[in-house]
Amino acid sequence: MDPQVDRVLVVVPTYDEALTLPTLLAGIREHAPGVDVLVVDDASPDGTGDIAEALAAQRAADLAAADLASEGSLGAVHVLHRQGKQGLGTAYIAGFRWGLERGYDVVCEMDADGSHRPGDLPRLLAASSAQPHPALVLGSRWVPGGSVVNWPRHREVLSRGGNTYVRLALGLRLGDATGGFRAYRAETLRGLDLGSVASQGYCFQVDMAWRVAQAGGRVVEVPITFVERTAGESKMSRGIVQEALLKVTVWGVAHRAQQLRRLVTGRRRSR
């Protein structure tokens, strides 16, 4: 990433992430110091929102005290508070809109639980800045060089199986369409109908990647190391998995039906 070219915003949704958020923000500051961060907190009962505000205030004080020579080398932290737990998908959409309204060039997704390593962020940003710009860069666990750490076997089977199903149902040729560590070009997000996105969890990530691909956007995958969280509780639930399975199936049936109609129409025209 060239900070003179791209203004970067990392959107971090939070719900009860008090134990891990400070470490994440410190890691982003260390590995990608020029990027800004927006914490989108859904009124976390454990006080994550207050911690985020304190960290934002400290970063603002650091910025005010910085020498002019280092201007732009220390990204700001912002906090967006929402009323109650509204879900991952709507949190990201709110963050995307916040970033687009303020003229960022690249908007990233990143989990607050420590599973996404800040050390991998510069490689995603470098890929996003490469010419010609890809529409979307995915941090992928399931491409050569990617890996997971401390994941139970059933989680790996679920993730690999889910991504295989996405490829078969949608023809989406991606190794990790369900991953949530990614970087969008702002023009990509502006070209999507964000108001029609109503998916959550895994399904939200597939939905967004599918929309980018359907719009003709180029998607690039960069290998990352995914680390199982060591603090707090996972937000994964049976409902999230069921939503993803149902919606991907519906999208897949519609996609294959459309392909069939095109094939039949093309044959009729060729007669």
Tens-digit pLDDT profile for residues 11-33: 999 999 999 999 999 999 999 99
Which carries the bigger pLDDT value, residue 54 or residue 264?
Answer: 54
CB 169 within 8 A of CB 245: no
Residue 1 — pLDDT band, cuts 50, 70, 90?
A: very low
- What pLDDT, in 10s, does the model give residues 151-195? 999 889 989 999 999 999 999 999 999 999 999 999 999 999 999
pLDDT of 129:
96
CB 163 within 8 A of CB 177: yes
CB 43 within 8 A of CB 71: no
CA neighbor of 116 nearest in space, from 188, 179, 59: 179
Give the number of other Cβ atoms within 10 Å of residue 197's Cβ: 18
Among 36-45, 52-61, 132-141, 260-269, the least confident range = 260-269
Residue 2 — pLDDT band, cuts 50, 70, 90?
A: very low
Residue 260 — pLDDT band, cuts 50, 70, 90?
A: confident
Domain made up of 8-270: CATH architecture: Alpha-Beta Complex (3.90)
pLDDT of 199:
86
Question: Does residue 232 carry a pLDDT above 70?
Answer: no
> pTM (2 decimals)?
0.89
CA neighbor of 8 nearest in space, from 80, 103, 141: 103
Burial 72-83 (b: 16+ CB within 10 A, else e): eebbebbbbebe
Percentage above 90 pLDDT, the chain: 73
Residue 231 — pLDDT band, cuts 50, 70, 90?
A: low
Give me the mean pLDDT over the 47-64 stretch.
95
Domain boundaries in the chain? 8-270
pLDDT of 256:
80
Give me the mean pLDDT over the 118-142 stretch.
97
Question: Does residue 237 carry a pLDDT above 70?
Answer: no
Residue 235 — pLDDT band, cuts 50, 70, 90?
A: low
CA neighbor of 196 nearest in space, from 249, 251, 135: 251
Mean pLDDT across the chain: 90
Question: Does residue 55 carry a pLDDT above 80?
Answer: yes
Give me the mean pLDDT over the 211-217 stretch.
96
pLDDT of 255:
76
Give the number of other Cβ atoms within 10 Å of residue 40's Cβ: 26
154 burial (CB, 10 Å; 0-12 / 13-18 / 19+) is exposed
- What pLDDT, in 10s, does the model give residues 90-109? 999 999 999 999 999 999 99
Residue 68 — pLDDT band, cuts 50, 70, 90?
A: very low
